[in-house]
Structure 1
Amino acid sequence: MRAAIVSAAGRAPVLGKLAAPVASIGEKLIQVNAAAISHVVKARASGAHYNAGEQFPFVVGIDGVGRLEDGSRVYFALPRPPYGSMADLIVADARLCVPVPEGLDDFTAAAIANPGMSSWAALSERSRLKPGETVLINGATGTSGRLAVQIARLLGAGRIIATGRNVKALGEAEALGADVTIQLGEDREQLERRFMQEFARGVDIVIDYLWGQSAECLLIAAVKAGRDAVPMRFVQVGSVATQDITLPSAVLRASAIELMGSGNGSVPVPRLIEITNEVLRATSSNDLKIAFKPVPFCDFDQAWPLDDSTCRTVFVMNTGGV
C-alpha cells in the first residue's frame, strides 16, 4: 500500500510502499479517504513534538477519515504505530473512532477535526469558559485560531479579541466573530500598552497559539493592568513563534493568573474523542467553517513542504467521500 514514510531522524516524509497492517482484537481496519497536515503532524514528523516517537521508519499523520470494512464512515485518531493516517490503510483502537455525520464530507471532516478539537478542549475543558466571558485569542490568523474564534462564539463568549500579524487574516477573524483585533508587531512596548488597554477593560481567558514575545507581553500586561486578584486563565495550546519564553517570576507572584496547557496529556484521550464528535456535529450543522485545499495523495512529495497555516492541506487517498 502507499504511505508517507519518515525513514530516519531529520528526514522529511516521502511517499513510498509499505505492507498493509492487520487489525488485532479491539482494533478497526480502516481504508483512509482523507488526512490533513497540521502543526502537530509536522512537528511529530520532524521529531520536534513532545510526543514524537523514536521508531523508524514510521508513517506520518495522527488522524483522518475513512471507511470501516462494513462501509461506514468514521473519523479516527492515533493509528497504531508505526502506521500513521497518511496511508491507504491503517488500524486504530475502536474506542478512538467516531461516526462522521451524514451530510459532512470526508475532506471537511478531516480538515477540521484536529484543530477544532484543540480549540474546543482549550475553551471548554481547560479554561472552562462561562457564557459572557471575554476571550483573547493570541494567534487568531491561523487555522486553529480562526476556529477558536468561531468556537468561542458558539460556546457563549461575550467578547472576543483576536491577535495576529496578517492584516487580511485578522479581517477574516473579525468576519468570523471577533469583536476586537490587534495586529502583532515588532514594537514590544507599544504591544504591551495595547494589551494593557484590553486587560484593564477585562479579559477572562487567553488562548495562546504562538508563545514567544506576544505571550510574554500578554502575561506582563495582565499584571501591569492592575486588576488585583482578578483571575485570568491563560491556556497555552501551540508554539508557532518559538518553544521558549522569558518570564519574570514576579508575574505569577503578583497576579491571579492561572497558567496551564491544553493538549494530549492535559485532557484524557477519551474526552478528546468526545469533543471531536461535538466538533463534527457542529460542522455538519454549518456552525463551524474551515479553509482547506484537497490534494491527491500521489502528489504528497510536492505538497508537503508547501503547506501553510492559513489553509489546511488535505490529502485525498480514496475518492467517494460524501
Structure 2
Amino acid sequence: MRAWQALAQGEPEKVLSLAEIPVPEPGPGQMLVRVRAAALNFPDVLLCRGDYQIRPELPFTPGVELCGEVTAVGDGVDPGRVGSRVIGNPVLPHGALADFTLMHTAEAFDAPESLDDAEAAALHIAYQTAWFALHRRAGLKPGETVLVHAAAGGVGSATVQLAKAAGARVIGVVGGPEKAQVARELGADLVVDRTTEDFVGAVKEATGGRGADVVFDPVGGAAFAGSTKCIAFEGRIVVVGFAGGTVPAPPLNHALVKNYSILGLHWGLYKLRDPASIVAAHEELCALADQGVVKPLISERVGLERAPEALAALGAGSTTGRVAVLLG
C-alpha cells in the first residue's frame, strides 16, 4: 500500500517520503480500515517536527484523524463491523496518510450519514475539542458572549458553529480579510481582523465594557495576553493550545483581582479518564450535523500525493477551515 513516511524530524515537505509498505495486520481489539479521507491537523505538523507530546519511532506515517471503511478485524472485535464507515483516530505509527491504517475499536465511531467522507473525517478532533471547551470546561450558557481566536481555522471554525448552536453571541478574531469573510460565513456575530484592529477594544465596545464571558484560545502569546484585558467578571479563558508559538505565563494576580478563571483543556485525557463522555459528545455532534446545524468547513480537498504540501500550508497558518486528503 501507499503511505507517506517521516524518515527524519523536520518540516513535512522535507522529511516525508511516499513509500510502498505492507498492509498492517490488526491485533486484538483493533480493526483494519481503508482510509477514505484524512483531515489534516496541526498535530500532524508537530509530529513531523518531533514537537508533539507523542513521538513515534522513525519511520512513521502521520495523520491523526480519518474517515474510512472497516475491512478486517482482530481478535475480540465484532465481525459485524466489517464494511462499516467510521471516523476517529488511527493507531500510530500507522497514521491516516496511507491507503490503510489500524484503529482501536473503542476509538472508532460511526460516521454520520449526513456528511461526506471529508466532512465526516473533520468532525472528530476539532469538534470534540470545541464541545468539551465550551460545555465541559466553560459551562457555556445561552446568551453569553464567546471570544474565539483563530476563528477561521480548523478548531476555531468548529467553535464558532458550536457556540452559535448553543445560543451564544460569537466574536471571532482572525488574521486577514479572507479569513474574516470565512468567519462571517460561519456565523460569527462580530469579526475582528487582528492585523488591522485591536480586538481588546472591539470586544469591550461590542459588550458595553463587560467583556467576553468565555474565551477560546488555541493560540497563546499575544492572544492570551489580550484576552485577560477583555474578559468579563466571572469569565472563563479556556487554553486549548499554543499555535502562536509562545506559551504565556498566566498573571494569576490579575485573575484574582478581576475574578476570572483560566481553564486548561487536554481533550485526549478524556479517552483515559472518561471515555463515555467522548461517546456522548459524538452522539450530540452527529445529531447537530444531521440537523444541518454544524458542518465542517472543508476549504480544500487534495489527493494523497499533495499531502506534504498541504501540511506545509497548515503549518504556515495560511489555511482556513480544514484541508482533507482524499483516498477513497
Q: TM-score, normalised by structure 1?
A: 0.86
CA contact (8 A) 2:152 2:321 kept: no
- Establish whether residue 275 from structure 1 lines up as the match of residue 275 from structure 2: no
1:261 CA drift (Å)? 2.0
Alignment of 1:54-203 (within 5 A): 54-69=56-71, 70-77=82-89, 79-157=90-168, 159-185=169-195, 190-197=198-205, 198=207, 200-203=209-212
Unaligned stretches of 5+ in structure 2?
72-81
Q: Distance in 2 between matches of 1:163 and 1:20?
A: 43
Q: Distance in 2 between matches of 1:303 and 1:175?
A: 23
Q: Distance in 1 between matches of 2:244 and 2:83?
A: 42
CA contact (8 A) 1:185 1:191 kept: no
Q: Distance in 2 between matches of 1:47 and 1:103?
A: 36
1:244 CA drift (Å)? 1.9
Residues 300/194 of structure 1: CA separation in 2 closer, same or farther (3 Å cut)? closer
Q: Distance in 2 between matches of 1:205 and 1:28?
A: 39
Secondary structure of 1:132's counterpart equals coil
1:231-280 deviations in whole A, cap 9, x for unaligned? 11100123222232255442123122211122334534523354244334
Secondary structure of 1:58's counterpart equals coil
Q: Distance in 1 between matches of 2:321 and 2:268?
A: 27
- Establish whether residue 256 from structure 1 lines up as the match of residue 267 from structure 2: no
CA contact (8 A) 2:153 2:322 kept: no
CA contact (8 A) 1:146 1:176 kept: yes
Q: Distance in 2 between matches of 1:154 and 1:280?
A: 13
Q: Distance in 2 between matches of 1:111 and 1:259?
A: 27
CA contact (8 A) 1:184 1:214 kept: no
Structure 1 ranges of 4+ moved more than 6 A: none
Aligned-pair identity in percent equals 27
Q: Distance in 1 between matches of 2:33 and 2:141?
A: 38
CA contact (8 A) 1:75 1:98 kept: yes
The match for 1:245 is 248
- Establish whether residue 316 from structure 1 lines up as the match of residue 326 from structure 2: yes
Residues 9/172 of structure 1: CA separation in 2 closer, same or farther (3 Å cut)? closer
1:147 CA drift (Å)? 2.1
CA contact (8 A) 1:15 1:300 kept: no
CA contact (8 A) 2:211 2:230 kept: no
1:286-311 deviations in whole A, cap 9, x for unaligned? 22231332222134344443444314
Secondary structure of 1:173's counterpart equals helix
Q: Which amino acid aligns with 1:217?
A: G
Secondary structure of 1:309's counterpart equals coil
- Establish whether residue 20 from structure 1 lines up as the match of residue 23 from structure 2: yes
Query: How many corresponding residue pairs?
Result: 307
The match for 2:74 is none
Q: Distance in 2 between matches of 1:54 and 1:199?
A: 49
The match for 1:45 is 48
Secondary structure of 2:229's counterpart equals helix
The match for 2:293 is 287
Unaligned stretches of 5+ in structure 1?
none
Residues 250/302 of structure 1: CA separation in 2 closer, same or farther (3 Å cut)? closer
